[in-house]
Amino acid sequence: MQQTGTIRAFSSLYFSTFLMVLGAGLLTTYLGLFLAKEQVDPLWIGALMSFYYLGLVLGSKVGHKLIARVGHIRAFVASAGLVTASALGHGLIPDLTFWLLLRFMVGMGMMCQYMVLESWLNEQADNHQRGTVFASYMIVSYFGMVAGQLVIGSFPELGLEPLFLVAIGFALSIVPIGITRRIHPAPLHSAPLQITTFWRRMPQSLTTITVAGIIVGAFYGLAPAYISNTGLPNEKVALFMSVTIIAGLLAQWPMGKLSDRIPRSRLLRTNSALLTLVVLLIALLPLSGTLLLLATFFFGFLAFSLYPIATALANQHAEQHERVSLSAVILLTFGIGACFGPLLASALMQVLGNFMLYGFMGLCSFVLFLRLQRVNYSQKQAARIVAAQQSDDYVMASSDVFSSPLAAALDPRVDEQMVQEQMLEPKTEPPPSEPARVHQPESSHDQSSVAQEPASQHEPALTATPEAIEKDSAEHEETVANEQSLVADDEKAETEVTPAAQSSEDDEADTIVTRLAKRQQQDKTD
């Protein structure tokens, strides 16, 4: 009931999102199929997709200023008008150079629309239902994308009709926003970007987001042309794209739950390794029919879950006041990757063949796996060095435990009864008939003169039997042996790595105090 009420409260924003994404998905697939049908160079197809993502990247700055100046609703209407005109321009002027400009304008306009919708949802959603609000937003977006792929199957001739539907979708997306009765959101406030700082602190997250942008951008831009070049009809192309996108939709919930149970960095490494195997199978094996659909399902499941897991890992290591700036850096990083992905993949397809689309994505996922492994190893090594430095700060006490009774009381290797006797024993005063001697600093002359005096002129400070001397000597030798054993244990502990330290980068080495306590317990047992 609560989820139904949430969807109803934001129904106008969700409906606008559905129509907008439907038009965007339809336009992207249509252009890919149309250019493949006209046997256009794959490099041009990749360039068109790259200019679209370039518009998304630069549109974040333009959209922010536009929303701050005229408000959310007016900014959305203006952006929708720009995208509608750009979509129709593809049918009026069939020139690839001009289409680059049109794709750039579509990217800028859609980024502004995304900013209006997401900032509106983020501001007016309560904290206890924020997750439900954005989960519903993502589900509506995926359904809009799938609907756009299915619509293209109704136009096998690839005439101007799909462009008209794209324009209709963007034009109708204005209506729910224009008639909504929800409170107008507050103006946006800028946040400074800390790109270098975040890259140093979150190398695994931002590297994954970059590679995810490369893979997703290459897939959306070139997958329709890739499937069309294999000889499949447009209906099969639409089915192929729909299965991949639905797999990405279905991956969000289980992968999100899994990332809450196991370390996200480990999940990213596993994901990238499995993704490498899947895309290499698609690239190297002649799959068709059900096997091809099954393979692209696993591809979508793994590829479209990289971005949300990496985003969650980045926010895990960010402070609350850094979240706005981090979100901007994440979007910028993803957009840059999506700009270069189609260009690089199309160049390889032109030189080496059609299969290099998935070969390129497999290479990217493999490089990501190696990078994550290296960063994880470096972080573990740094943690071990810090733990070793903390252990080296401990200073061993003097070997002469009898130099201070209080210090000896703190040493668990010393007999407590003997320490108490030394601490409670009163000082021995010199006899009244013998005046106390005043000790002067020693020199070689004083030592020789004292040694030549008769023994009867000196009062011995301590008298002891041979049995007591032998007992004290044995105890001292035992103490020295115990200390040497402890030092050997410390040196061995510094060179060995326990299994727990190998499985978790957060484990710390045992301290010397802990080992002394264990040895005391063992001595008492013996």
CATH at 55:
1.20.1250.20
pLDDT digits (tens, 9 = 90+) for 323-380: 767 877 888 899 899 999 999 999 999 889 888 999 999 999 999 999 999 988 888 8
pLDDT digits (tens, 9 = 90+) for 481-505: 666 665 555 555 544 444 444 444 4
Which of the listed residues 190, 223, 246 is the one where a domain comes to its end? 190
DSSP 423-467: HHPPPPPPPTTSPPPPPPPP-HHHHHHHHHS-GGG---S----HH
pLDDT for position 399? 44
Residue 523 lies in a domain: yes
Whats the size of the chain, residue-wise?
A: 526
Which of the listed residues 156, 190, 224 is the one where a domain comes to its end? 190
Q: What is the CA radius of gyration of the chain?
A: 37
**Pair 404, 371 in one domain:** no
Q: Do residues 195 and 329 make contact, with C-beta atoms less than 8 angstroms apart?
A: yes
Residue 62 lies in a domain: yes
**Pair 403, 344 in one domain:** no
Question: What CA–CA distances, in Å, run from 423 to 206, 233, 320, 406, 468?
Answer: 63, 97, 56, 8, 19
Residue 172 lies in a domain: yes
Residue 525 lies in a domain: yes
3-state SS record for 239-280 = HHHHHHHHHHHHHHHHHHHHHHHCCHHHHHHHHHHHHHHHHH
**Domain span holding position 104:** 1-190
Residue 463 lies in a domain: no
**Pair 150, 239 in one domain:** no
Residue 456 lies in a domain: no
Query: Which of helix, strand or coil describes residue 399?
Result: coil
Residue 168 lies in a domain: yes
**Pair 379, 399 in one domain:** no
Closest-CA residue to 33 (of 237, 209, 325, 213): 237
pLDDT for position 438? 43
**Pair 166, 208 in one domain:** no
Query: Which residues in the chain land under pLDDT 50?
Result: 1-2, 394-408, 419, 433-463, 494-513
- List own/partner pairs for 401-407 with CB under 8 A and 24 or more apart: 401/479
Residue 457 lies in a domain: no
Q: Is 504 left (phi over 0), alpha (psi -120 to 50) or beta?
A: beta
**Pair 161, 213 in one domain:** no
Which of the listed residues 391, 409, 444 is the one where a domain comes to its end? 391
Cα–Cα distance, 440 to 388 (Å, whole number): 46
Q: Do residues 265 and 204 make contact, with C-beta atoms less than 8 angstroms apart?
A: yes
Number of domains forming the structure of the chain = 3
- Contacts of residue 129, Cβ cutoff 8 Å, sequence gap at least 6: 2, 6
Q: Do residues 342 and 218 make contact, with C-beta atoms less than 8 angstroms apart?
A: yes
Closest-CA residue to 255 (of 299, 292, 301): 301
| DSSP tag of 322 | G
pLDDT for position 69? 86
**Pair 293, 162 in one domain:** no
Opening angle at CA 56, ends 55 and 61, nearest 5: 90
**Pair 330, 377 in one domain:** yes
**Pair 116, 221 in one domain:** no
**Pair 161, 252 in one domain:** no
The burial of 39, by beta-carbon neighbours within 10 Å (0-12 exposed, 13-18 middle, 19 or more buried), is given as: exposed
**Pair 377, 526 in one domain:** no
Closest-CA residue to 313 (of 269, 374, 276, 277): 269
Element (H, E) at 292: helix 289-303
**Pair 185, 277 in one domain:** no
